[in-house]
């Protein structure tokens, strides 16, 4: 049974470029979460979806960040334009629902913005 | 506001000994969940154990147990019989009922197991 799949695993881009991170949740999971991990801020939730609908995007840092979930098996996190301070590891996680069930994390995408 | 505090940035333990990683939480909600995740140097986040606020028994999963003291708002992770492969970052996290599945993480504790 495949876990949460994220692509790319590593991304290096230049400031000002658009970056798109992709996530495929575990089949049958109804909730999807995007987290960002940095040394300074630790792990922080950016946005989460339930049944493909965004529930809470209060963690999205600014308008340069956007996330979509067009169907139950795919989500994207886009940064446009990217800035060096966006460099971080971005995790996608999924769970059966938005109760206390464990969240299964993907391997993460390490983003470096030069 | 909800908050998770892990006061030990780093810990050392001798192989085969037990170790306790501290976690305290702050919430005014009565219904919440507490989690521990392991992050090895490879970077993935691995779920270890979960405790619900209404669970009367401490959660256990193999060598992991969660020492839940509700009145003190603590949820310490106990790892018994430490192994070299236990060396990693450990994160305590909380989800609160009225915020859906949102997880709030602590800053983590880096555990090093010595042979």
Please tell me if residue B9 touches chain A, with a CB cutoff of 8 Å: no
Please tell me if residue B102 touches chain A, with a CB cutoff of 8 Å: yes
A106 has pLDDT over 60 = yes
Per-residue HEC secondary structure of A18-73 comes to CEEEEEECCCCCCEEEEEEEECCCEEEEEEEEECCEEEECCCCCCCCEEEEEEECC
Residue A9, both tokens: 């695993």
Q: Which residues contact B59 (CB under 8 A, 6 or more apart)?
A: B49, B50, B51, B65, B66, B68
What is the per-residue pLDDT across A9-58, written as a single tens digit (0 to 9) for each?
999 999 999 999 999 999 999 999 999 999 989 999 999 999 999 998 98
Of A56, A89, A104, nearest to B100 by CB-CB distance is A56
What is the per-residue pLDDT across B81-100, written as a single tens digit (0 to 9) for each?
999 999 999 999 998 765 66
Q: Parallel, antiparallel, or unpaired for β A31-38 and A19-24?
A: unpaired
Top residue of B5, B45, B59 to mutate, by most chain A CBs within 10 Å, is: B45
Q: Parallel, antiparallel, or unpaired for β B10-14 and B109-114?
A: parallel
| Percent of chain A residues past pLDDT 90, beyond the cut | 82
- Encode chain B (115 residues) as per-residue pLDDT tens digits: 789 999 999 999 999 999 999 999 999 888 889 999 999 999 999 999 999 899 889 999 999 999 999 999 999 999 999 999 999 999 999 987 656 678 899 999 999 999 9
């Amino acid at each position: 049974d495949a876990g949460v799949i994220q692509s790319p695993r590593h991304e290096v881009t230049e400031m000002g470029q658009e970056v798109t991170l992709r996530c495929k949740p575990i089949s049958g999971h109804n909730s999807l979460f995007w987290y960002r991990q940095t040394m300074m801020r630790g792990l922080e939730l950016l946005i989460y979806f339930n049944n493909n609908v965004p529930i809470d995007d209060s963690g999205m840092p600014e308008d340069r960040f956007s996330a979509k979930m067009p169907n139950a098996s795919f989500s994207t996190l886009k940064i446009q334009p990217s800035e060096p301070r966006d460099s971080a590891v971005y995790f996608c996680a999924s769970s059966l629902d938005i109760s206390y069930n464990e969240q299964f994390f993907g391997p993460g995408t390490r983003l470096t913005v030069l | 506001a909800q908050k998770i505090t892990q006061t030990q940035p780093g810990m050392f333990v001798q192989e085969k000994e037990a170790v306790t990683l501290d976690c305290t939480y702050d919430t005014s909600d009565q219904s919440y969940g507490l989690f521990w995740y392991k992050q090895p140097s490879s970077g993935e986040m691995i779920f270890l154990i979960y405790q619900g606020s209404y669970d009367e028994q401490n959660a256990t999963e193999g060598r992991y147990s969660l020492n839940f003291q509700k009145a003190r708002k603590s949820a310490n992770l106990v790892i018994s019989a430490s192994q070299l492969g236990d060396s990693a970052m450990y994160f305590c996290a909380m989800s609160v009922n009225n915020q859906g599945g949102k997880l709030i993480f602590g800053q983590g504790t880096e555990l090093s197991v010595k042979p």
